[in-house]
Structure 1
Amino acid sequence: MKLWLSLLTALALMTAPALAQSKPPAGPTVVLDTSKGAVTIRLRPDLAPKHVERITTLVKEKFYDGVPFHRVISGFMAQTGDPTGTGTGGSKYPDVDAEFSRESFKRGTVGMARAGDPNSANSQFFICFAAAPWLDGQYTIVGDVVSGMDVVDQLKKGQGQSGSVSGPDIVKTARLGG
């Protein structure tokens, strides 16, 4: 009996670190107070440290305050982070090189928007309404919505294939959470 308990204890001690590692590490959070309500995003510096640094810098500078959700495609994603509202704007900082991971885009995943060049992400990001596996390994994942997906679902949807929104909802303020 003692041998059996010793073996079980040893097995538990050996697998505990592996189980702990399967859960993503806790990262900083960003709270977007939108015209529809609050959305809390847990950032993932373990996946994209340079992109998370950029977003936290921009939040601290109040860059996202007043920025519209300029592109919202029903069943796909809601995009923000362009102060011009055209989808072509960005921050004063240089673009960030891609940080692709093996994580998969699913409902609530937050990814960095970019142009055709994989290394062209700057300030814009999007929140997925549903799984989008065709983005896996092609776009940088920076976080996950941990509360407020019901708010994201309520954002005004855009028209046409581009999802361009007339009279869009906005990020009233963005702030770092706990």
Structure 2
Amino acid sequence: MIAACALALAGCASGTKQSAAQSPAANTYRVVLDTTKGPVTIDVDRTLAPNGAQRFYELVKAKYFDSARFYRVVPGFVVQWGAAADPAVTKKWDVTIPDDPVKASNVRGTVAFAATGQPNSRTTHLFINLGNNARLDAMGFAPIGRVTGGMNAVEHIYAGYGERPDQNLIGSQGNAYLNKSFPRLDYIESAHVVGR
């Protein structure tokens, strides 16, 4: 289960998008994920996990998550995403960030980065807790914020494929693999930081 909850794939944008993405995030900020199930609002608190909060901000500003599939959905546990639609973009962002101490529990609606189980292995993959997953706290999964709107949409994300999508193929083939093999996956149409 630890390995299944953890991933390390990534990607990055270039040019002005990259410069804008690398500006510091505010202490608190709001992100809206416009998904195929409806909007999901995430309030991020930098004081909970500064490294994770900054990386999420950079990824959203770079449009990294636009068209990203929710490739792992385990009812009562997590909804996970984090591979870019284009595997070349995923590869560019494949840079780890330092761990943050766990300052909040992985309760229903909190959002945290996935990891491989090794120290400092977070990259671009995140999950939303669908239940009280406090057991993840001791494993080092540090929430960066929580869903404050649209949890009903999150709970209706297609779960029929469970954990079947192959994470290595997602990283190497992106949405081409997912669209062909798992066409019913819901996804993020676009993501943006509110007011920035």
Q: How far apart, CA to CA, are the structure 2 residues paired with 1:139 and 1:158?
A: 25
Is 1:176–2:176 an aligned residue pair?
A: no
Percent identity reads 33
Structure 2 counterpart of 1:66, one-letter code: S
The residue that corresponds to 1:58 in the other structure is 59
Following TM superposition, by how much is the alpha carbon of 1:133 offset from its aligned partner in structure 2, in angstroms? 1.1
Q: How far apart, CA to CA, are the structure 1 residues paired with 2:115 and 2:126?
A: 8
- What does the per-residue CA deviation read over 1:97-139, in whole Å, with 9 as the maximum and x for residues that have no partner? 1102231111101010111213111111000111001101321
Residues 32 and 40, structure 1, Cα contact 8 Å, conserved in 2: yes
Q: How far apart, CA to CA, are the structure 2 residues paired with 1:120 and 1:82?
A: 15
Following TM superposition, by how much is the alpha carbon of 1:81 offset from its aligned partner in structure 2, in angstroms? 1.2
Which of 144, 147, 154 is the aligned partner of 2:146? 144
Q: Which has the larger radius of gyration?
A: 1
Matches within 5 A, 1:80-159: 80-83=81-84, 92=93, 94-137=95-138, 138-159=140-161
Q: 1:109 to 1:85 in 2, by over 3 A?
A: farther
Structure 2 counterpart of 1:80, one-letter code: W
Following TM superposition, by how much is the alpha carbon of 1:85 offset from its aligned partner in structure 2, in angstroms? 9.3
Q: How far apart, CA to CA, are the structure 2 residues paired with 1:85 and 1:73?
A: 24
Residues 112 and 145, structure 2, Cα contact 8 Å, conserved in 1: yes
Residues 104 and 142, structure 2, Cα contact 8 Å, conserved in 1: no
What is the DSSP-based 3-state SS (H/G/I as helix, E as strand, rest coil) of the residue aligned with 1:136? helix
- Structure 2 spans left out of the alignment, 5+ residues: 1-26, 166-177
Matches within 5 A, 1:10-29: 27-29=28-30
Farther-moved stretch of structure 1 (110-119 vs 90-99): 90-99
- Structure 1 spans left out of the alignment, 5+ residues: 1-25
What is the DSSP-based 3-state SS (H/G/I as helix, E as strand, rest coil) of the residue aligned with 2:115? coil
Root-mean-square deviation (CA), in Å?
A: 2.3
Q: How far apart, CA to CA, are the structure 2 residues paired with 1:42 and 1:152?
A: 15
What is the DSSP-based 3-state SS (H/G/I as helix, E as strand, rest coil) of the residue aligned with 1:53? helix
Q: How far apart, CA to CA, are the structure 2 residues paired with 1:163 and 1:141?
A: 25
In the superposition, the TM-score normalised over structure 2's length comes to 0.70
In the superposition, the TM-score normalised over structure 1's length comes to 0.77
Residues 72 and 156, structure 1, Cα contact 8 Å, conserved in 2: yes
